[in-house]
């Protein structure tokens, strides 16, 4: 297993993971326009993706979107897009991927919003400081 920063060179593998992730959580499959927008965001370093590769195949991913955080008055990151191909789960990839992404991104803290059913999983991965509720606004 190798842990990498995902670039646009890895977009084919990232698309496969993103489609699997969206299907698993019951959301619409991203469109070609969505993936074009994502590719542009990666190119402009507005979002960073990290992944795990096994035998040349991308089998896990997560993203960190950098932001300034007054939680610790330094750069922080929003942790999202966390997905591991089902047959690769329960092998320690999650914990290693979170640590790798955190270290490689250079942020001082990570925040994650999650469904109630995922709280214990994220706590076991080190997301232990509760910060209340997270809501999204779409005007």
pLDDT digits over 39-58, tens only? 999 999 999 999 999 999 99
How confident is the model over 119-137, as pLDDT tens digits? 899 999 999 888 877 777 7
DSSP code of residue 27: P
Residue tagged 């965001």 (tokens): 41
Q: What is the pLDDT of residue 12?
A: 96
Q: What is the pLDDT of residue 97?
A: 97
Dig out the tokens for 94 from the structure. 């999650």
In the chain the domains, ranked by start, together with CATH numbers, are 2-124 (3.40.630.30)
Cβ atoms of 46 and 67 closer than 8 Å: no
Q: Give the separation between CA 14 and CA 8, rounded to whole angstroms.
A: 9
Using a pLDDT cut of 90, give the percent of the chain over it: 76
Backbone φ/ψ region at 2: left (φ over 0), alpha (ψ -120 to 50), beta = beta
- pLDDT tier, 23 (very low <50, low <70, confident <90, very high otherwise): very high
Q: What is the pLDDT of residue 132?
A: 79
Dig out the tokens for 70 from the structure. 């007054």
Q: Give the separation between CA 129 and CA 133, rounded to whole angstroms.
A: 12
Q: Give the separation between CA 54 and CA 81, rounded to whole angstroms.
A: 19
Residue 93 in this model has a pLDDT that exceeds 90: yes
């Amino acid at each position: 297993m190798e842990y990498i920063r995902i670039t646009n060179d890895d977009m084919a593998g990232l698309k496969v993971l993103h489609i699997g992730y969206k299907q698993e959580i019951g959301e619409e499959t991203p469109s070609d326009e969505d993936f074009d927008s994502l590719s542009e965001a990666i190119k402009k370093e507005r979002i960073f993706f990290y992944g795990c590769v096994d035998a040349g195949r991308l089998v896990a991913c997560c993203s960190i979107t950098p932001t300034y955080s007054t939680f610790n008055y330094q750069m922080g990151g929003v942790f999202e897009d966390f997905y591991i191909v089902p047959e690769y789960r329960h092998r320690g990839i999650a914990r290693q991927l979170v640590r790798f992404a955190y270290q490689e991104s250079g942020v001082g803290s990570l925040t994650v919003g999650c469904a109630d059913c995922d709280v214990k999983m994220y706590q076991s991965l080190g997301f232990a400081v509760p910060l209340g509720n997270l809501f999204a606004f779409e005007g």
